[in-house]
Structure 1
Amino acid sequence: MKGSAPPAKRRWRGPSVAVLVLVFCSLLVPFAFLFGRFPAGYVTDERPQKDFGFQSFGRLEDVKDSQPEARQPSGDENKMRTKIVPTLSKDFKENNVFQADGSLHKRSGNETGKDVMPTSKPQVPPTPHIATPKAVNDLHANNGQKNNKKRTAKGFNGDDTEKYCQLEFGSYCLWSIEHKEVMKDSIVKRLKDQVFVARAYYPSIAKLAGQEMLSRELKQSIQEHERVLSEAVVDADLPPLIGEKIKRMDLVTARSKSCTVDCNNVDKKLRQILDLSEDEAHFHMKQSAFLYHLGVQTMPKSLHCLSMRLTVEYFKSQPFALEHSHAFKFDNPKYRHYIIFSRNILAASVVINSTVMNSEVTGNIVFHLLTDEQNYYAMKLWFERNSYKEAAIRVMNYEELMLKNFHNIGLRHLYVSEEFRISIRNIDLPATKMRIEYLSIFSHSHFLLPEIFKKLRRVVILDDDVVVQNDLSTLWNLDLGEKVNGAVKFCGVKLDQLRMYLGKNFYDAKSCAWMSGLNIVNFEKWREHNITGKYLKLLQQFKITGEASLRESALPISLLLFQNLIYPLDDRWTLSGLGYNYEIREDAMKGALSLHYNGNMKPWLELGIPEYKKYWKKFLTREERFMDDCNVHP
């Protein structure tokens, strides 16, 4: 037939096509090996970030993921994987799992049934039975959604790390958790994370033969990132082409991970960088805690302005005769005398105002406000400008009284009630199981009160961080018997737990500590038991080397002198802990006769617990022009 091929040619056509297909396949297979995703003969530790405690951040919108998409392994890949896995050690296979895409996943402690050792350095547990005053201990300390933040902060319901943080940094941890904000500048954070990983791989890549170009690119990317981070602190400072740098770093890091390196070297480098980062974070945490406590104990700028403005105004204005009109009440024991130590004008004003506003009869109330020389004239002018119904208020310069009448004692400076942060634990329990308690106690100035007010028989001593919510008339009708000090006992701390501070003195180990804040004191029984004389003798037993040791001695002295002389008041008389405890119920606060804001978070500070401030602000004087001039708005 005309168009058909000869029989010989038709016989050779089939074999020739088969040869061409075979040649094509032989060329295709090497390319598949070069560019395909075949597993290499090494493994890497791809541990999740949560094992290190780092937060995960999303990628930039304009930067695509450089990692190839996951796919199902082929039959050849499975065969190769079975060849690699048996060569690994038994412990390694128990703690690691190969994923479908050939990557390695580190098992968690729950998956393997074994505990995973933390990568951070072990923390040294604090010394048991710590009891140091706030001024000393705090200045030398070694400390999602809104509902979740509150739940974590309240009552230390978080994990053991948060409890240990509270032990080391005090109430700073509570405040920092309560005021934690969503982290901004995530791009800067991502740059730092990329440098972190690149530094871990660079030493191993630099030692590999034939990877000089990759090593140079990795080093260049690290230097570029460090240059950017040295000039930019927030995302707004970053250059416009930062997305390209991030993408380039992702690519070079991915290439570094694909190289055959010694995993131990990378792991050691990562741990080294992690330890350095943890040490740096711990340093900044301690520094933040120090600055926090410094801010707590330093008078705010606005309150200092208020005191200075009132002092200047006192010498510019005409003298008032209001205090002289009540002079006959000051030494008359028939009246109800309240004594307050304070350097804070607003705090003293709230204590007095809350007591007066909740008293049915105010004509028989006398307040003796003892302050230091610096705030004396400001206090006088404030209480002369503001009236508190029919109550009489007497402002006294404590330092001047000491200089005139008690110059031989050597305690000239004013000391308000001391606060001690006490860490208590059983010696058999770990450090994270320690319990934090705040204890308020009489200061050295309190033991001289019967000598200052020689004609008075019974007084009520109020701390300046107390808010009175009810009439205290029934307090004056209590029969103290042979007791000297009526106080609320605090059995959360026993004297046996403070034995290292009480020394070799005799005391009842099972006796409870007591709290200052609201105390009714019988000066007649005080003088019969010679409490002041015993105080001066006991003070000589303690080695006083400076201001810090002097204030530390207030705790054992107060507890030892009033042994068996405390009249226990009912717990409803005062509710303590509003300066550090986040889990006080609102119904308990409303039912208490007085509220005690003991702790670091005072209500007149910005650091105060917001939920508790309203009870204090209710008695704050508002119509005072000096407060507006100094921008005083606690």
Structure 2
Amino acid sequence: MQVHISPSMRRITISTTNGFLDPMKLKGAVRYLSYRCLFWTILILVFLLPFLFITTMIATLEGANKCTSIYCLTRKFGPGAPWRSNNIPQQYSREFVTALELAAKTKLPKGVAVPETIHALIDEAKAKNYDTKTLLATLSAMVENKDEQTRTAKLQEALYRHFASSGIPKGMHCLSLKLTSEYSTNALARQDLPSPDLAPGLTDNSLHHYVVATDNVLAASVVVSSAIKNALEPRKIVFHVITDQKTYAAMHSWFSLHPLPPAIVEVKGVHQFDWLTKDNVPVLEVLESSADILRYYHGDHSAGTDLSDSPTILAAKLQARSPKYISIMNHLRIYLPDLFPELNKVLFLDDDVVVQRDLGPLWDIDMQGKVNGAVETCRGEDPWVMSKHFRNYFNFSNPVISNTFSPDQCAWAYGMNMFDLHEWRKTEITKIYHRWQKLNLRSNLTLWRLGTLPPALIAFDGYVHPISSSWHMLGLGYHAKSNIENIRKSGVIHYNGQAKPWLEIGFPELRPFWAKYVNYSNEFIRHCNILQH
């Protein structure tokens, strides 16, 4: 037989060699092999072959060697496979669901080691020839084990963060010591604050009076400087900085050596207020002398920890056990009418806030006879910070609480509060505060355990004037999920929570809003190695 192919590939002639058959001529259309077709074919194979390999491997692990290869393969493709019989998917689905239910109910015997990784599970399943039930039960035990490990780690993190937030960084301790030394050696650090010619402004009700109570020099400097730098009329600002006796020299040195004209800054120690005696502040004497109170706030905070609490709840409970809550510094705000008898209005700021815009309009708010202008925390975008009602602070299983208040009453925030001292003096708010503090002590702290806000919620009940939440944004010390755009627009941002911006545990993405008001080139800050993170 002879085959003749024309050069153009358009003609093929086949003939026998012995001549018995006539030449056979075949004509065929040219078929071109497209490179594009070849590319897509290879690409499909690249994805298909690994899938088939993995499917086969899983089938082997499940003991699929007992079934036909076609059946095992079609199990993985699902009911859409054209060659599957109708009874196979139903049977397999029932078996799989039943196995899952049994795995959820089955507990491995105590003492049985659970694989740590999925690779270890696969190796063990191969070695011991696990059936589906055993494999799923082991996998379920692995998941439960990992969940418990994760939860324990989060609880430990909450405990460690609590201790970290209660400590004083070395740099800030150094700053206080150096400023105290400066106070004793440098006459400029001891000069009057304010100067005698500005002293009349301390009682001038036409000016805007701010109050900050803190023993943290660096934090106080940020609060004061941020408020003055963002004010449209800084000449109208008067800051009353109150600190304790041990920090007074350092605080006085800082503001003497770093004046912020044209604003007026006064620094006073609690020992300089003649009114602050134990006769006038009886509840503080009880707080500081009660053995139960001292044990609660200064004892082992890890003892008696309820491991059933979520890490977030545990963190809140631990924060409430901070010793600062029995310090006189944390109770000063309830005595403002007596500490500043000649003032009609003051804006009280916590030391963990940053002022980002002019707060002058707050003095123009009509308080309608109320005493406390505050942001309510029962509504807002943040589900953790802005969802607080009385039920979050009080023990409503106690009839003293349940018969007096509603669990659905809206809470409000400390941190930025406009207090009308003139209206306050007409009320018995301070007496109510004292009465409920003593009642809680007699009840062995069973009415509430969360810091100083609960007695204030009671004392100011009916005397709160809600102000827009745009003035005061909370929660920057609880989590890093705060909306950055909302932070930029807020008048005051509040790092309430454990992650203070001056601590290592502070959130890096939120710290810059605070750090921009720290002069890291300042000689005292540099010498104490307070570095920008």
Per the shorter chain, which TM-score range? 0.5 to 0.7
* Residue number among 224, 230, 235 corresponding to 1:363 in the alignment: 235
Q: Which amino acid aligns with 2:104?
A: M
Structure 2 equivalent of residue 542 of structure 1: 440
Deviation for aligned residue 1:606: 2.2
Q: Which amino acid aligns with 2:183?
A: Y
* Residue number among 389, 401, 415 corresponding to 1:503 in the alignment: 401
1:475-509 CA-partner distances (Å, limit 9, x unpaired): 11122121000111112222355552672462355
Provide closer, same or farther for how the CA distance between residues 401 and 274 of structure 1 changes in structure 2, counting only shifts above 3 A: same
Provide closer, same or farther for how the CA distance between residues 479 and 373 of structure 1 changes in structure 2, counting only shifts above 3 A: same
Structure 2 equivalent of residue 290 of structure 1: 159
User: Matched residues in 1 for 2:472 and 2:482: separation?
Assistant: 13
Structure 2 equivalent of residue 208 of structure 1: none
User: Matched residues in 1 for 2:142 and 2:411: separation?
Assistant: 47
1:306 aligns to 2:175 (yes or no): yes
Q: Which amino acid aligns with 2:390?
A: L
Structure 1 equivalent of residue 345 of structure 2: 458
* Residue number among 569, 581, 586 corresponding to 2:467 in the alignment: 569
Is 2:480–2:510's contact at 8 Å kept on the other side of the alignment?
no
SS at match of 2:376: strand
List alignment gaps of at least 5 residues for structure 2.
1-55, 69-91, 109-114, 289-307, 379-386
Deviation for aligned residue 1:284: 5.5
User: Matched residues in 1 for 2:346 and 2:219: separation?
Assistant: 20
* Residue number among 85, 97, 108 corresponding to 1:112 in the alignment: 97
Greater alpha carbon shift after TM alignment, 600-609 vs 380-389: 600-609
User: Matched residues in 2 for 1:545 and 1:286: separation?
Assistant: 29
List alignment gaps of at least 5 residues for structure 1.
1-68, 84-106, 122-191, 201-249, 415-429
Structure 2 equivalent of residue 446 of structure 1: 333
Runs of 4+ in 1 over 6 A off after TM superposition: 69-73, 107-110, 118-121, 259-281, 430-442, 545-551
SS at match of 1:328: helix
Deviation for aligned residue 1:110: 12
* Residue number among 212, 220, 226 corresponding to 1:354 in the alignment: 226
1:482 aligns to 2:363 (yes or no): no
User: Matched residues in 2 for 1:385 and 1:283: separation?
Assistant: 48
SS at match of 2:425: helix
Provide closer, same or farther for how the CA distance between residues 81 and 469 of structure 1 changes in structure 2, counting only shifts above 3 A: closer
User: Matched residues in 1 for 2:95 and 2:213: separation?
Assistant: 56
1:587 aligns to 2:485 (yes or no): yes
Alignment of structure 1 residues 256-405 onto 2, 5 Å: 285-318=154-187, 319-325=190-196, 326-398=198-270, 401=273, 405=277
Provide closer, same or farther for how the CA distance between residues 489 and 284 of structure 1 changes in structure 2, counting only shifts above 3 A: closer
Provide closer, same or farther for how the CA distance between residues 298 and 111 of structure 1 changes in structure 2, counting only shifts above 3 A: farther
Q: Which amino acid aligns with 1:299?
A: I
Is 1:544–1:550's contact at 8 Å kept on the other side of the alignment?
no
Is 1:333–1:457's contact at 8 Å kept on the other side of the alignment?
yes
User: Matched residues in 1 for 2:344 and 2:95: separation?
Assistant: 67
User: Matched residues in 2 for 1:72 and 1:553: separation?
Assistant: 59
Is 1:542–1:553's contact at 8 Å kept on the other side of the alignment?
no
1:410-467 CA-partner distances (Å, limit 9, x unpaired): 42799xxxxxxxxxxxxxxx99899999899995321111111111111011111111
Greater alpha carbon shift after TM alignment, 366-375 vs 538-547: 538-547
SS at match of 1:337: strand
* Residue number among 603, 620, 631 corresponding to 2:501 in the alignment: 603
Is 2:209–2:345's contact at 8 Å kept on the other side of the alignment?
yes
Deviation for aligned residue 1:513: 0.7
Provide closer, same or farther for how the CA distance between residues 111 and 579 of structure 1 changes in structure 2, counting only shifts above 3 A: farther
SS at match of 1:610: coil
Is 1:120–1:278's contact at 8 Å kept on the other side of the alignment?
no
1:352-386 CA-partner distances (Å, limit 9, x unpaired): 11110111222221111112222221111011111
Alignment of structure 1 residues 606-621 onto 2, 5 Å: 606-621=504-519
Is 1:120–1:274's contact at 8 Å kept on the other side of the alignment?
no
Structure 2 equivalent of residue 5 of structure 1: none
Provide closer, same or farther for how the CA distance between residues 505 and 460 of structure 1 changes in structure 2, counting only shifts above 3 A: farther
Q: Which amino acid aligns with 1:592?
A: S
Greater alpha carbon shift after TM alignment, 481-490 vs 573-582: 573-582
Deviation for aligned residue 1:323: 2.5
Q: Scaled by the length of structure 1, what TM-score is found?
A: 0.53
Structure 1 equivalent of residue 299 of structure 2: none
1:314-360 CA-partner distances (Å, limit 9, x unpaired): 11222323434332222333322100121221211111111101112
Is 1:465–1:596's contact at 8 Å kept on the other side of the alignment?
yes
- The percent identity for this pair of structures is 28
C-alpha RMSD of matched pairs (Å): 4.7
Greater alpha carbon shift after TM alignment, 480-489 vs 441-450: 441-450
Provide closer, same or farther for how the CA distance between residues 370 and 288 of structure 1 changes in structure 2, counting only shifts above 3 A: same
Alignment of structure 1 residues 30-179 onto 2, 5 Å: 81=66, 112=97, 114-115=100-101, 116-117=103-104
